[in-house]
């Protein structure tokens, strides 16, 4: 009996000294799985076992609830903490993982022969760890098999898996591991702009046209041929001159191997805003982003030309975020994971000083993004908002859904298809309008998330719409989900200079930079008055600033073989709260 007691005591002491020594890493459970390859993808081949790539591990954030509570408090105009945004250090402290999570993940890495000290990257808060692994290592760690998948429409090849698993005890410590089941690539990611046929000869006489526009009389031609003068008049920014240009900045996030062209911006200014000639913007290249100044992108030029056109002389920054080269079956060269939001967000969150306003014109069908991945990325946008940045996203150009709208869960049901990141509750999503007076444009993306619950800030505004809708479209959308868009702006006939020539471009990717330009001016006004910037907009615009928008009451957004939602009085999932009126908003936020 004495011998047994001594033996038990020794075991207890050993367990206390090495709490992780007895963990069973082979007790695994599925983290995420697809029932079939996402639509458009097919298995092509098996990657070499020694193919190297960067695996990213997102550890659960110990004080995420506190971060989100802080975000809402500093963004609520009725709260005592309104405008008291968090510093980078304060945010980093809130997103840091619990020491137990760090210990568990590092022990798991060591079990697989990986020294945590050799990590390629650790975020400032410690919630992201990037390690370089081979296919063979990753398959052992995640109890899976990787394949090379081909996307015929874009001729893209990526290394992904249909499912992955983690040891059961790691599920409470890890949010997501990538690259695994998120199949979207930079090539198949949808930029929402598209080229339109020229509808007017107005472009050749832009200077005289601009002189004829006043805020009190916007010509109907602005509904089909949109210039900076049109937008400045429509949204009441013409008379405002920015003052806080030493502090206030506007950031444009770009992907798809696109960059904005300096010469085209000058040509654009010469045609459409002569007082801005000579104005420039900063280029920041992230993760191998391009900036060769040859063959500029339609989306990139659209974004920077219209943020500049409205916010000038506010400093603008274009972030060109790169993606990996096409997968080479014979290559042993490490590649990145080709998951752009993570690349850009990890970069921007690591900066000490960040722009007060951002716009992004890219997105995917929500159902094509694994929910754990979408949630992790959405929470990263919350970090930006907590630090005082306003983040605009295009709502998409497929109405309530594009394509066949079939679910990818094996049931092949036809339902409305929300978009992500438009459906994230921590961004401000921008829909589209057309014509003068404005009506909803038919392609304006809008609807209700199936991943994210309806946030409290919009409940009172969304309820009347749902009540009036009644049982129409019952079962086709999630009435309790985060509703979008939040606001809207013109989306048709934007005059964009590409390669020296003026082209007509449409899409809600024109709407997002337009609203971002207006928001940047509001931030300029506040900063020049010694006040903090707006930060996360939604709690403000759904409450005390609600009357600062022009309500759009006609038009609809068909899709999925259905007529789609209809714009009406108040908020609607076609145009949101409406289009911005800078002067009204200036009075409301001041």
Say if residues 178 and 496 touch (Cβ distance below 8 Å).
no
Q: Scanning the structure block, which residue is given the tokens 């020794």?
A: 10
CA distance 337 to 138: 13
- Say which residues have a Cβ less than 8 Å from residue 16's Cβ, sequence separation at least 6: none
Are 138 and 146 contacting, i.e. CB atoms less than 8 angstroms apart? yes
Side-chain half-sphere CA neighbours of 157 within 13 A: 12
3-state secondary structure of 53: strand
Question: Tell me, what DSSP letter sits at residue 444?
Answer: -
What is the CB neighbour count within 10 angstroms for residue 410? 9
**Strands, DSSP E only, in 421-509?**
428-434, 439-440, 447-453, 481-484, 487-490, 494-498, 501-506
> Helix axis angle, 582-589 relative to 508-528, nearest 10°?
40
Euclidean distance between CA atoms 439 and 300, whole angstroms: 26
100 assigned ligand-binding residue: no
Residue 212 tokens read as 């004829």
- When computed from its CA atoms, the radius of gyration of the chain, rounded to whole angstroms, is 25
How far apart (Å, rounded) are the C-alpha atoms in residues 487 and 458? Answer: 12
C-alpha pair distances (Å), 295 with each of 138, 155, 255, 290, 500: 38, 20, 15, 11, 11
Of 473, 471, 381, give the one whose Cα is nearest residue 429.
Answer: 381
Neighbour-count burial of 50, counting CB atoms closer than 10 A to its CB (0-12 exposed, 13-18 middle, 19+ buried): exposed
Catalytic residue among 92, 303, 308, 524: 303
Encoding tokens for residue 466? 């749902």
Q: Report which of 420, 423, 424, 419 is spatially closest to residue 383, judged by C-alpha positions.
A: 424
- Point out the catalytic residue in the list 76, 299, 364, 365: 299
Instruction: Identify whether the C-beta of residue 195 lies closer than 8 Å to the C-beta of residue 367.
Output: no
**Tokens matching residue 76:** 């609520």
Which of 461, 509, 511, 512 is catalytic? The answer is 509
User: In what helix (H) or strand (E) does residue 349 lie, and over which residues does it extend?
Assistant: helix 340-349
Active site residue 366: no
- Is there a binding annotation on residue 552? yes
Q: How far apart are CA 121 and CA 117, in angstroms?
A: 10
Task: Say whether 299 is catalytic.
Answer: yes
Instruction: Please confirm, yes or no, whether 398 is among the known catalytic residues.
Output: no
Residues with active-site annotation:
299, 303, 509
Binding residues for Ca(2+): 551-552, 570, 572
């Amino acid at each position: 009996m004495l011998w047994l007691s001594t033996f038990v005591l020794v075991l207890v002491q050993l367990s206390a000294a090495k709490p992780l020594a007895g963990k069973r890493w082979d007790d695994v459970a599925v983290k995420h799985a697809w029932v079939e390859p996402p639509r458009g993808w097919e298995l092509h081949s098996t990657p070499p076992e020694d193919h190297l790539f960067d695996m990213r591990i997102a550890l659960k954030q110990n004080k995420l609830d506190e971060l989100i509570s802080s975000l809402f408090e500093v963004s609520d105009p009725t709260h005592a903490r309104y405008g008291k945004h968090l510093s980078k250090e304060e945010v980093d402290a809130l997103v840091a993982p619990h020491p137990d999570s760090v210990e568990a993940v590092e022990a798991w890495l060591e079990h697989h022969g990986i020294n945590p000290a050799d990590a390629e990257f650790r975020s400032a808060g410690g919630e992201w760890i990037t390690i370089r692994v081979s296919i063979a290592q990753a398959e052992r760690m995640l109890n899976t098999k990787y394949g090379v998948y081909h996307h015929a429409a874009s001729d893209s090849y990526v290394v992904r898996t249909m499912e992955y698993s983690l040891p059961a005890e790691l599920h409470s410590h890890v949010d997501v591991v990538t690259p695994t089941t998120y199949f979207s690539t930079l090539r198949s990611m949808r930029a929402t702009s598209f080229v339109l046929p020229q509808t007017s000869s107005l472009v050749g006489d832009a200077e005289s046209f601009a002189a004829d526009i006043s805020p009190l009389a916007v010509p109907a031609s602005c509904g089909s041929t949109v210039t900076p003068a049109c937008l400045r008049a429509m949204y009441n920014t013409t008379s405002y001159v920015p003052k806080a240009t030493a502090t206030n900045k506007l950031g444009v996030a770009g992907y798809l191997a696109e960059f904005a062209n300096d010469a085209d911006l000058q040509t654009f200014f010469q045609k459409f805003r002569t007082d801005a000639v000579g104005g420039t913007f900063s280029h920041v290249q992230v993760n191998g982003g391009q900036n060769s100044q040859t063959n500029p992108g339609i989306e990139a030029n659209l974004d920077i030309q219209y943020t500049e056109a409205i916010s000038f002389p506010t400093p603008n920054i274009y972030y060109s975020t790169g993606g990996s080269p096409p997968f080479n079956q014979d290559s042993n060269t490490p590649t990145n994971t080709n998951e752009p939001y993570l690349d850009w967000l990890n970069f921007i969150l690591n900066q000490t000083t960040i722009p007060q306003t951002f716009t992004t014109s890219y997105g995917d069908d929500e159902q094509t993004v694994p929910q754990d991945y979408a949630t992790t990325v959405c929470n990263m946008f919350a970090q930006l908002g907590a630090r005082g940045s306003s983040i605009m996203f295009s709502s998409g150009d497929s109405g309530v859904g594009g394509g066949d709208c079939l679910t990818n869960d094996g049931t092949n049901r036809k339902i409305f298809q929300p978009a992500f990141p438009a459906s994230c509750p921590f961004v401000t999503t921008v829909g589209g309008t057309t014509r003068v007076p404005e009506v909803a444009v038919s392609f304006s993306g809008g609807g209700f998330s199936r991943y994210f619950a309806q946030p409290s800030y919009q409940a009172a505004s969304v309820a009347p719409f749902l009540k009036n809708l009644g049982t129409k479209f019952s079962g086709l959308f999630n009435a309790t989900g985060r509703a979008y868009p939040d606001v809207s702006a013109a989306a048709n006939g934007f005059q964009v200079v590409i390669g020296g020539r003026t082209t007509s471009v449409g899409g809600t990717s024109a709407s997002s930079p337009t609203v971002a330009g207006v928001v940047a001016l509001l931030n300029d006004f506040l900063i020049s008055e010694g006040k903090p910037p707006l930060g996360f907009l939604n709690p403000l615009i759904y409450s005390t600033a609600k009357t600062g928008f022009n309500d759009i009451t006609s038009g609809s957004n068909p899709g999925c073989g259905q007529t789609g939602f209809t714009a009406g009085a108040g908020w609607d999932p076609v145009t949101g709260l409406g289009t911005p009126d800078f002067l009204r908003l200036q009075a409301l936020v001041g």
